[in-house]
């Protein structure tokens, strides 16, 4: 990049150069803002075979929450070094695929604001409508005016950034028999949360038995992990969620012939603010660790989760390949745990 300062994009382009032929890089969209043009990059590592599991990482959907992009960039830097010597990782990549879109909303990250250049909140931009009283809140998404937060955009036309994310998911994850998407955000709560569908309604989603099995596997393997694992609608309901939109598309196309699990990592940034309330007066203070030692801690904090998700896709028998009896048991347990049924 030349002509303007954009540290996250500059770091991404340096990484692309360092990966060279070891990663397949594509500009999936170009976003114009005033006199500037921003690329949206995707990087893919691993085999090109169509029938392998896929793990995909997305960051910067909300530009103000740039820590998500930075965590992905940090993880890419680690993978770059591991590729030089880690034969176990090389073996994994012979049997799986990793996909990265670190900066989905480059204008938002560049400007330090939640929305894209058209003032649209991309995570409220799909046609999905929320259900219940919670969906009527203004923060659930509104189409009254672009001059208020949480603007959903045009009812009949999704934003370029949203369509670019959907294209990556459709091309790379829908074609796989087993896939997980992890979308990184910050700005809600004190505790890190790992959310799964639905965001638009308080209803168990199709793969809730498998989601519970994956949670229980993670709980057993990492008994002191930091995450609260739950459906997003446990905390609040929104309109236009891109992952609900994509998930419903997937189920309508494939039913239970394949499995696609969209997850959101919501980093609990209120903890950073509680330790130093004065950071609230900075643009990124509510969404980003301001002090260097806290930022370094966050940049390495989630690598165990990333590694676990990758391995869980390669060895799915413990959670994704359930018998009918196991599905029934897990369905009842999940409904009691998360939905009070």
Tens place of pLDDT per residue across the chain (341 aa): 445 789 999 999 999 999 999 999 999 999 999 999 999 999 999 999 989 999 999 999 999 999 999 999 999 999 999 999 999 999 999 999 999 999 999 999 999 999 999 999 999 999 999 999 888 999 999 999 999 999 999 999 999 999 999 999 999 999 999 999 999 999 766 789 999 999 999 999 999 999 999 999 999 999 999 999 999 999 999 999 999 999 999 999 999 999 999 999 998 765 655 556 544 444 554 555 555 656 666 667 899 999 999 999 999 999 999 999 999 999 999 999 999 86
CA angle 164, 167, 169 (to 5 degrees): 115
C-alpha 142/C-alpha 125 separation (Å) is: 10
Residue 1 lies in a domain: no
CA distance 228 to 262: 16
Q: What is the predicted pLDDT for the residue at 292?
A: 60
pLDDT (0 to 100) of residue 309? 98
Task: Identify whether 274 is part of a domain.
Answer: yes
Q: What is the per-residue pLDDT for 142?
A: 95
Q: What range defines the domain where residue 322 resides? A: 7-338
Supply the pLDDT for residue 5: 87
Q: Give the pLDDT of residue 3.
A: 59
Give the Cα separation of 209 and 327 in Å (integer): 5
Say how many domains are in the chain.
Answer: 1
Alpha-carbon separation of residue 170 from 164, 177, 279 (angstroms): 10, 13, 39
Is residue 2 one of the residues assigned to a domain?
Answer: no
In a domain, 83, yes or no: yes
pLDDT of residue 288: 55
pTM value > 0.85: yes
CATH number at residue 22: 3.40.630.10
166 neighbors 203 (Cβ within 8 angstroms): no
């Amino acid at each position: 990049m030349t002509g303007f300062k954009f540290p996250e994009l500059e770091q991404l382009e340096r990484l692309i150069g360092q990966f060279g032929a070891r990663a397949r890089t594509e500009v999936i969209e170009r976003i114009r803002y005033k006199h500037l043009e921003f690329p949206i990059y995707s990087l893919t590592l691993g085999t090109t075979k169509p029938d392998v599991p896929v793990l995909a990482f997305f960051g910067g959907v909300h530009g103000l929450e740039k820590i998500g992009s930075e965590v992905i960039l940090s993880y890419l830097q680690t993978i770059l070094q591991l590729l030089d010597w880690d034969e176990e990782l090389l073996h994994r990549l012979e049997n799986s695929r990793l996909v990265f879109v670190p900066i989905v909303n480059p204008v938002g990250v560049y400007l330090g604001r939640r929305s894209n250049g058209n003032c649209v909140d991309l995570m409220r931009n799909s046609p999905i409508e929320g259900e219940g009283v919670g969906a009527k809140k203004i923060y659930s998404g509104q189409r009254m005016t672009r001059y208020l937060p949480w603007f959903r955009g045009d009812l009949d036309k999704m934003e370029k950034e949203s369509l670019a994310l959907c294209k990556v998911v459709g091309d790379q994850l829908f074609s796989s028999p087993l896939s997980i998407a992890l979308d990184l955000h910050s700005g809600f709560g004190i505790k890190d949360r790992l959310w799964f569908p639905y965001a638009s309604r308080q209803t168990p989603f199709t793969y809730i038995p498998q989601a519970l099995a994956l949670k229980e596997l993670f709980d057993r393997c990492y008994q002191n992990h930091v995450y609260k694992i739950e459906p997003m609608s446990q905390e609040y309901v929104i309109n236009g969620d891109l992952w609900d939109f994509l998930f419903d598309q997937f189920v309508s196309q494939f039913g239970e012939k394949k499995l696609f699990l969209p997850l959101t990592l919501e980093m609990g940034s209120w903890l950073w603010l509680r330790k130093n309330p004065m950071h609230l007066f900075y643009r990124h203070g509510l969404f980003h660790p301001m002090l260097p030692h806290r930022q370094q801690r966050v940049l390495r904090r989630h690598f165990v989760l990333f590694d676990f998700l990758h391995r869980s896709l390669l060895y799915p028998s413990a959670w994704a390949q359930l018998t009918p009896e196991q599905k029934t048991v897990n369905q009842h347990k999940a409904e009691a745990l998360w939905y009070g049924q």
